[in-house]
Amino acid sequence: MGDRQTTGPAIRFEDVAKYYGDVAAVDGVSLEIAGGSFVALVGQSGSGKSTLLKTINRLIAPDAGRVLLDGEDVSAREPHALRRSIGYVFQNVGLFPHMTVGENILIHRRIGGTGARQEGAGDAGHLLDMVELPRDFAARRPSALSGGQAQRIGVARALAGQPGLMLMDEPFGALDPLTRDTLGESYRGLHERLGLTTLMVTHDMAEALLHADRILVMAQGRIIADDTPDGIVNGTLPEAAEALVAVPRRQAGRLVAMERSRDPGA
């Protein structure tokens, strides 16, 4: 799989809503995401992030509104073909334990049946290169992987179908902070090189600020802030969004204060 010339698709939400009884999981979301951008969707648990994400690949059908990919209503697309064309990575990637890592990476191609014809889609070895793991990992079982390695395999599996769009739902959420940061950096590089459009759900504002071009803050099914990382940090936010930024701000402030107290001469 060589570097891509094209840029992943643009996404457009038009007044999208999804209800569970009295709960509006998604409550009238309208917005556009430019092809090639890296957008983080941030919010507290239960704010509707996963539900909104899943309306794109039709894991969830909205009760109102529509979702367009490059101008085409996703509800007009055959769901399985649509899902094969979109990379999807989530927490605890769910690798099949009885298959090798290599087989897991190429699983959708096997199930889908169309992949064999995809010129240059890359073998498992090439996909392992992309996620910076040794090629001999292809012969391992998933049980022989660390959490971070397993998430890298999840990314490789998502890239096997040569998607233009990557949907990531708390992809590194279960990892320790250092591994998480390394994977975030590494994925950001892939996003650039492959010209992907990435929509990444995270509850971690610091992660969003470090990796995304644009941050959407969600609360109670609505988008309550939509800005660049700079705008989020330096702008005026609604209270619920400011509360999320306050966490990394406070942590950074404490660390700086501790450094000064360690070396008062500095």
- Bridge partners (DSSP) of residue 222 are 219
Per the listing, tokens 């950001």 go with 188
Positions in the binding site for ligand ADP (CB under 6 A): 20, 23, 25, 43, 45-51
Closest to ligand ADP by CB, 26 vs 158, is 26
Closest to ligand ADP by CB, 88 vs 137, is 88
Q: Are strands 23-33 and 11-20 parallel, antiparallel or unpaired?
A: antiparallel
User: In angstroms, what is the minimal distance from the CB of 261 to ligand ADP?
Assistant: 38
Compute how many residues bind Mg ion; rule: CB under 5 A: 1
Task: Using CB under 5 A, pick the residue from 11, 16, 25, 50 that binds Mg ion.
Answer: 50
User: In angstroms, what is the minimal distance from the CB of 226 to ligand ADP?
Assistant: 16
Residue 104 interface partner, choices ligand ADP, Mg ion, none, CB cut-off 5-8 Å depending on type:
none
- Bridge partners (DSSP) of residue 26 are 18
Closest to ligand ADP by CB, 8 vs 48, is 48
Residue 164 interface partner, choices ligand ADP, Mg ion, none, CB cut-off 5-8 Å depending on type:
none
Report yes or no: 69 and 79 within 8 Å, Cβ to Cβ. no
* Window of 22-30, 49-57, 79-87, 142-150 that interacts with Mg ion by CB under 5 A: 49-57
Closest to ligand ADP by CB, 23 vs 81, is 23
User: In angstroms, what is the minimal distance from the CB of 48 to Mg ion?
Assistant: 8
E strands, the chain, are 11-20, 23-33, 38-42, 64-69, 72-73, 86-90, 165-169, 197-202, 214-219, 222-227
Closest to ligand ADP by CB, 23 vs 111, is 23
User: In angstroms, what is the minimal distance from the CB of 26 to ligand ADP?
Assistant: 7
Distances (CA, A) of 156 to 98, 167, 205: 18, 13, 25
The helix/strand/coil state of 198 is strand
Comparing every residue's Cβ against Mg ion, the nearest one is: 50
* Contact call for residue 151 and Mg ion (CB under 5 A): no
Q: What angle do CA 196, 153, 198 make, to 5 degrees?
A: 20
DSSP assignment string, 218-265: EETTEEEEEE-HHHHHHS---HHHHHHHHHHHHHHHHHHHHHHHH-TT
User: In angstroms, what is the minimal distance from the CB of 49 to ligand ADP?
Assistant: 4
User: In angstroms, what is the minimal distance from the CB of 221 to ligand ADP?
Assistant: 7
Q: What is the rounded CA–CA span in Å between residue 83 and residue 169?
A: 15
Binding region for Mg ion (CB under 5 A): 50
